[in-house]
Structure formats: structure tokens, C-alpha cells
Structure 1
């Protein structure tokens, strides 16, 4: 048996592939375009493992996707591949429309053709699981209830709009063509192998280098934080037992303001890798806020718990400690991903604020 994973060399995708092979042991066909955030080094422990087959390719390449489906006959597609950084979507929305919208459309059409030709038993067992985000729901007021699966879509950035569009395509392919789909909407992930453009890894990497720790605006933007391995276990639960056509929110039950995250990371670094120059919090630097920055996201994951018995294993305190320790233990990985292109991006996004 085989599953096809798209984007399996990225942050969440590579964690999922590693956990899937460790927990399930089933063969993974991994399709990834290896853009700036994709890194085969994340999967180095699987080198020589016949259960992992990597293909360097683009999800927009219909000929390639058709070929892979025909050759490997997967029982499921788990679709992670996406452009995912809001700031990058503001600077260059075209890449987000291509990967997140056109790419999802291409996968759906390829999966529909493949699924339609399966024998009845295999056809009924097949699943297309689409991994999405809580950002499609928009922004919450401070006292508003958390996002449920029935919350209206109100995307506010090019990134979230592109993901909302992909969610709607997945829903339409189920209702129009009967494709057996599942959708998951997760909150902010953190953990190992996270490319250091997002808040938590950027804080760790900059602090260790003695560089400013940029905080947008007042830093009071609130997010629900989900340890990436908990996200992976939630996806496995949905793939195994989720009701076809349904959406499941996956959250960490950990609402935190960005500025509190900053000070938590600084405190852990002060404990685990003290700086002779003084507390890391001295590096905190407030910068101009992101245009249209959503103030609060919060996930209500009770449907997933009620139907499939899933809850996150990590608290924020346990997960963030594991995350900081991982970055301290893997300086070579950090150094490798900090290429010239990465430095150019940091200059473009932060120095002009």
C-alpha cells in the first residue's frame, strides 16, 4: 500500500512523512518541487529506506501527476504542497495563486481521473485529504468564540485567499464529481524543520546570532499554536476515520499573543544557551505592522475530538521547549537553509519597516 504526499520536503510535510513511516510504516510517494522552503535534508534519516520514494516535481505538472498515480497506485493523496507565508504573498501573490489554486486544481483533476478508473473496492477506500489553514476564516474579535468548521470564510491576505479558493475547489470536486475528499484546517504550527521566516524559528535563529527580534506592531496579535507532530497525528486520525466530504479543525488549544511567544522563547534561550551580553529580550525590536494583519485566530477542535478522539499531546510549554532545543541541537541545518536568497528576503521584508 502507498500514499502520495505532496510537499513532503517542507516543514509540515516532512514531519508528516517521518511520523507516517515511523508510526504506520506504509510506503510514501513524496512529490515536492523543492522551492526555497523544501529541504531534502529534513528527510535524511530515510535515505535508503524503500518505504520512501522521492520525486522532484511540480504539482502543476498534470502529465507527471498522472504518471505517478498510474505507476504507484496510491490509496490516498495527502496534499500539503502550498506557498504559506503571508508576507511573501503580499510581496508576490502570483506564486500563491499558481501553487495553491492551480496546483490544487491540477491534483484534483488528476485524482478524479485516477479514482474513476479504480475497481469498486479501491474506489470506495480512496481518499483525497487537503491540508489547509485557519487563516481562511479571517480575524476574530478578542471575545469572539473560536473558529468552528461552520465559520464563514473571510480571508484577508493573498495567502489566505488562495487557500480559501483551494478549499472551495476541494469541496466542489466532492459535491460535483463525488471525489472522496477530506479537509483539515489547522492553526499555527511550530516545531522541528521550520524554515526561519516564520515567527518562532526566526526568533531563535536571530537571537543566537545577536540580531534584532522583529515584532510586528504592538505584538498583541493572538494565534493558536499547534506542535507540528500533534498536527501530523491529527491528520492521520482524519485520514483513517474522517467522514468523507467533511472538514476538521486541528488546533492546539494554545492561544498566545505574539509578544508573549517572543518572551517565552527568550526565556528558554536564557536558560538553555545564556548570552554573556545579557538577556535575549534586549534584542526585541518593534517594527511597522503587516498590512491587513489579522488580530486573532483561535481553533475550536472539538469536532475532531468528539468524532475521532483526537487531542494534542503537547502543551505549549512542552512543545516550545522541544522546539528551542531542536534548533540548538541542529546548527548545521540552520546554517544550510540561511542562503543568500534567505538573507535577501529578510532585508526586503524587515529593514524597510
Structure 2
């Protein structure tokens, strides 16, 4: 081979060797850069998040449906983070609702719209309350429907208003069977309602309003506890003048004097006096008839009861719970009251 050819072959070998070294150097630099990027991209491991476990009865007050609260105002009940830890503690050792023997606890909710101070101003607040009834059996399977806007009072089965006593299951028992829980733990029942709000727009107005006027019912055990009103609402039409609206109490008012007073106040025209008096008398007759029917219904229902059931009803106790005051909730200390409703009257204790 010629000398020049040998020199060219030697240069090609040298260039090839240098190229291989350069490629190896690039590959090593690339790997080093990748490792560097990975190190830069990695972050210190974040601290694990811890969530406070719910208390066993934390949602108990919400489980008790606020009976008689207007549907349009339900959201106002839950606009504050109300604290019912007093209700929860009542089930702990030493509490009012702990170790009740054969008794169970039946809870129903409600709301009391009150004007109370909040953030330097007076506001109407829908205050939630919970009533606990201690009894060996459900205090009633009926609901009362009554308000000043309704002429008559209705006592209907709970299920007619889609309500019933429902077992309440604490958080730690919710993976267990209800039957197992009921055998081994104190029984708590809440008055629940299965009526879906989404379907309210398809409901007739009269049916919808019945929900607004519902009251948990309790049959009066003693006859003197039976509320028999001596008042009647009067709405007397007199065209073309405005109707006369007033309340007549037959225990204290005399019909003719009552009519003369309306004329004197220019509520009633003189030529309508006789018609007005007859109208009032008819309303009084209707109210007295209702009172007689109530007495008879109570008597018949009481006679059907067993001796044990009568004894249970005579020993019923009920407690009324208000929310505990917190910095985030309105001051309700000045509006607490023992009165529950027309059937239960007053609670034995307010907590």
C-alpha cells in the first residue's frame, strides 16, 4: 500500500476513535443531567393530613326533622354552625338521657324564629330546638295540624305526612346491622320526614301548607290537660265594605255587646248587626261541637290503653334542648322558653 494511503487510513481510525469517545462523553453528560433534573424536581415529602373524627352523636340534632318549619325557611335553620354538644352529653354517663332502663328516647326537632342580637344588630333568626321524650314506647303515631290561619284542627297519622319514628345510628355503629345495634345499645329514635323537597313544586298548595302547620302530637292523659278553646275566629263578609276580622271568646264576651263594639269601632255597619250576631253564634256552636268530639275521642283512646301503657304515659318526661352558645352563633340566652307546643305544653327541663 502507498504511504499516502496508509496515512489516510490511520487518520480515519483516529477520527473514528475520537468520535466514539465524544459520543460516550455526551451520553454520560446526558445521564448526569437527567439525574440532576430528577434531584431538582423531587420535593420533600409533605406532612400527612389529619382529619378530626366525627363525634358519635354529632349529627343527631340534624337527624331530628324540624317539624312545622316552612319549607322556604329550612335553609335558614342551617346557616349557622349550631352546637348541640349539650344534647350529646345528655347521653353520656351522668347525663339526663343515660341509663334509662327500659325507656327509649324519642327526639323531634322544631324552630323558633326570634329577634336576637347578632354582630351588633337585631335579626330574626330561626333557632333550632330539639325535644327529647323519655318513654318505653313511641309517645304518638299522629301529627296535629293547626294554626291561626286554619279554621279546624286535624289529628292525622304521621305516615299521612310522610313522617315516622326512625332509629338513629351513631357513627361507630353505621357499618353494623340496625338489629344488632338495637339489641346492644340504648335506643334513640328521631322523628324523620321522607318528603323530598324537589317534588314540592308539584304539590297542591293546601297539602304543602299542611307541612308548615304540623305539630308533634301527644294525647292528653288528664282531662284537664285537654286544650278546649273558648275562642272562635270570626271572618264576617260584608259587601261592599271590608270583612270583619276578630276573635270572640264565649267565656267572656256577650254577643250583642260584642256586635255593638264592632259598630262603635266602625268595623261593622249597623244594618249588618243581626246577620253578624247570627254568624258569631253559628261559629260558637261549631267550636263547642268540636270540643265535645275531642273529649269523646280522648276518652275512647284512653280506654283502649293497657294498664302498662297508661302508666308509661303518666310518667313521660320531656326535655327541651337549645344550642350551646359559641362565638360564631347569635346570642339566644334571652329567648329560651319551656313551652313546646299546644299538645306537649311545657318541658320538664330546658337544657
Bigger strand share = 2
What TM-score results when the alignment is normalised by the length of structure 1?
Answer: 0.26
Higher relative CO (Cα under 8 Å, sequence separation at least 6) belongs to 2
What TM-score results when the alignment is normalised by the length of structure 2?
Answer: 0.26
Bigger helix share = 1
Task: Work out which of the two has the higher radius of gyration on C-alpha atoms and give 1 or 2.
Answer: 2
